């Protein structure tokens, strides 16, 4: 019994030692590293500032700032490279190897372009300073507009054929700049724009209406806002929407892409019935080696058409169509082009 206890004790000791041995060895290694560190002459990269706030700038303007640094260490400082995050550029304008007490500079340029809003951009300075291998510089600020329009894009959403839809846009001017809104217009003949007379000071409001658009399908266009601002002479507000008839379908084109002969490739068309009286009467495919199966999607009334190609279809380009005939007066036939390529 004593023997067993002895063995058990030895075993537990081995386990404990093995658990702690990593830490013991790690600690020893650290001690060795420290000894070596003390002997090596290390560089030390110090920036005058880590963050620069450029405050507020107007859209289209750019900001330049120089981050000054110094090597206060004993060893030679080597700047390997300077990397910036998207939307700003950074460059080392001094030499990349600096001895003790030598100074350098990293220039950062932020170009607002069309960006509006709060900005935080970072620049990473990669060097051989063991304490700061990747030094992060930050520039912050805000880009504002002389003339700001809300929304930036008008979404008319889904409109039934024959209906109208109105959305409003608001234009705000920076008061001290005394900018005028000269004109708001759209070349689209279905769009009318009227000013909302109850506008506040430095704030204009307009109603944009799409009237009885004849075509079924997606539409888009642009509302132009002309102002006396030098930076924003014209502001373009794109608009989009979709006019639906008795039914909608997706996709409008069926792409099989390129695939190998014999490969089973299936594509799906989904048809939604806006007018519940409308039914599919017939489907035709061209060429005839395009197969299809119609099913209902989870008892929603929505139809799903799975389309594939016969396995004996010859190598080469696929060009065809799927025609859906319905009892709708306004959408009696829907033509969906089919494209693809079979490789040998």
Partner 1 sequence: MKMYFGCLIIVTFIFISTKIYGSATDLLIIFSGEELGNLEPCGCFEGQIGGISRRYALIDSFRKQKKIILPVSLGDLTKSSGRQEVIKMEILCYALERMDYILHNLGEKDLEVGPQLISYLSQTNKVAFLSSNVQITSPFPTKINKYVLKEYVDSKNSFKIAFLGILSKSFFNNNISDFVNIIEPIKALELLVKQLHDKANLIILLSHAPLGESIEIAKLFPEIGLIITGHGIEEPKDSITYVNNTAIVSSGTGGKYIGVAEYSINNKLAPLYAKVFTKSKSVEIIPLDNKYKDSLEMVSLLKDYQQMLMDEDLLSKTPQMPLLNGLSYVGNLTCGICHKLVYDHWSKTQHGVSYNTLVNKGHQYDPECIRCHTTGYGFISGFLNYENNQNLINVGCESCHGAGSEHVKNVSNVYGVTDESICDMCHDNEHSPEFQFKGYWERIKHPKEFLKKLPNP
- Could you list the residues that contact partner 1 (CB under 8 A)? 3-4, 7-8, 11, 62, 83-89, 91, 111, 113, 122, 124, 136, 150-151, 153-155, 157-158, 220-222, 224, 233-234, 236, 238, 240, 242, 248, 250-251, 253, 255, 257-258, 268, 270, 272, 274, 297-298, 300, 302, 304, 339
Any alpha helices (H) in 111-170, and if so which ranges?
none
Which residue's CB is nearer to partner 1, number 45 or number 269?
269
Q: Provide the minimum distance between the beta carbon of 169 and partner 1 in the complex, in angstroms, as a whole number.
A: 10
Nearest residue to 197 (alpha-carbon basis) of 237, 168, 234, 154: 168
274: its two tokens: 């806006």
Residue with tokens 């206890």: 5
Q: Provide the minimum distance between the beta carbon of 63 and partner 1 in the complex, in angstroms, as a whole number.
A: 12
| Separation CA 198–CA 141 (nearest Å) | 34
Q: Provide the minimum distance between the beta carbon of 13 and partner 1 in the complex, in angstroms, as a whole number.
A: 13
Which residue's CB is nearer to partner 1, number 31 or number 279?
279
| Separation CA 289–CA 310 (nearest Å) | 5
Please write down the long-range contacts of 190-199, taking CB distance under 8 Å and 24 or more positions apart: 190/214, 190/219, 191/221, 191/223, 191/239, 193/223, 196/168
Which residue's CB is nearer to partner 1, number 71 or number 232?
232
Q: In angstroms, what CA-CA distances link 333 with 2, 245, 260? A: 95, 12, 32
**Beta carbons within 8 Å of 31's beta carbon, 6+ residues apart:** none
Which residue's CB is nearer to partner 1, number 79 or number 154?
154
Q: Which helix (H) or strand (E) holds 289?
A: none
**Coil, helix or strand for 24?**
helix
Which residue's CB is nearer to partner 1, number 76 or number 107?
107
Look at the alpha carbons of 205, 200, 228, 231 in this order and tell me if their dihedral is positive or negative: negative
**Coil, helix or strand for 9?**
helix
Which residue's CB is nearer to partner 1, number 215 or number 255?
255
Q: Provide the minimum distance between the beta carbon of 123 and partner 1 in the complex, in angstroms, as a whole number.
A: 10
Which residue's CB is nearer to partner 1, number 188 or number 199?
188
Q: Which helix (H) or strand (E) holds 18?
A: helix 2-39
Sheet holding 316-326, edge to edge: 254-260, 333-343, 316-326, 280-286
Q: Provide the minimum distance between the beta carbon of 265 and partner 1 in the complex, in angstroms, as a whole number.
A: 11
Residue with tokens 């809003």: 117
Q: Provide the minimum distance between the beta carbon of 298 and partner 1 in the complex, in angstroms, as a whole number.
A: 7
Q: Provide the minimum distance between the beta carbon of 80 and partner 1 in the complex, in angstroms, as a whole number.
A: 15
Q: Provide the minimum distance between the beta carbon of 243 and partner 1 in the complex, in angstroms, as a whole number.
A: 13
Which residue's CB is nearer to partner 1, number 45 or number 88?
88
């Amino acid at each position: 019994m004593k023997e067993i206890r002895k063995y058990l004790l030895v075993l537990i000791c081995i386990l404990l030692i093995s658990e702690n041995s990593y830490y013991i060895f790690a600690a020893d290694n650290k001690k060795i590293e420290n000894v070596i560190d003390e002997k090596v002459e290390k560089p030390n990269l110090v920036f005058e500032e880590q963050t620069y706030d450029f405050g507020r700038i107007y859209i289209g303007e750019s900001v330049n700032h120089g981050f000054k640094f110094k090597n206060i260490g004993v060893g030679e400082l080597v700047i390997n490279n300077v990397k910036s995050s998207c939307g700003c550029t950074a460059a080392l304008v001094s030499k990349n190897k600096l001895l003790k007490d030598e100074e350098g500079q990293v220039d950062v340029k932020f170009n607002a372009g069309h960006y509006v809003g709060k900005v935080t951009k970072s620049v990473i300075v990669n060097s051989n300073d063991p304490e700061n291998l990747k030094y992060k510089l930050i520039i912050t600020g805000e880009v504002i507009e002389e003339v700001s329009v809300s929304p930036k894009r008008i979404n008319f959403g889904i409109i039934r054929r024959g209906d109208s839809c109105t959305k409003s846009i608001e234009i705000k001017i920076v008061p001290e700049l005394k900018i005028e809104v000269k004109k708001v217009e759209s070349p689209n003949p279905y769009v009318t724009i009227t000013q909302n007379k109850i506008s506040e000071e430095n704030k204009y409001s307009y109603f944009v209406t799409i009237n009885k658009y004849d075509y079924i399908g997606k539409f888009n266009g642009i509302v132009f806002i002309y102002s006396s601002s030098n930076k924003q002479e014209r502001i373009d507000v794109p608009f989009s929407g979709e006019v639906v008839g008795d039914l909608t379908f997706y996709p409008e084109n069926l792409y099989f892409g390129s695939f190998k002969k014999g490969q089973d490739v299936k594509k799906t068309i989904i048809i939604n019935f806006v007018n519940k009286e409308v039914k599919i009467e017939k489907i035709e495919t061209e060429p005839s080696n395009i197969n299809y199966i119609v099913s209902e999607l989870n008892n929603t009334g929505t139809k799903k058409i799975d389309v594939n190609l016969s396995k004996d279809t010859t190598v080469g380009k696929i060009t065809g169509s799927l025609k859906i005939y319905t009892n709708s007066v306004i959408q009696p036939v829907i033509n969906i082009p089919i494209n693809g390529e079979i490789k040998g």
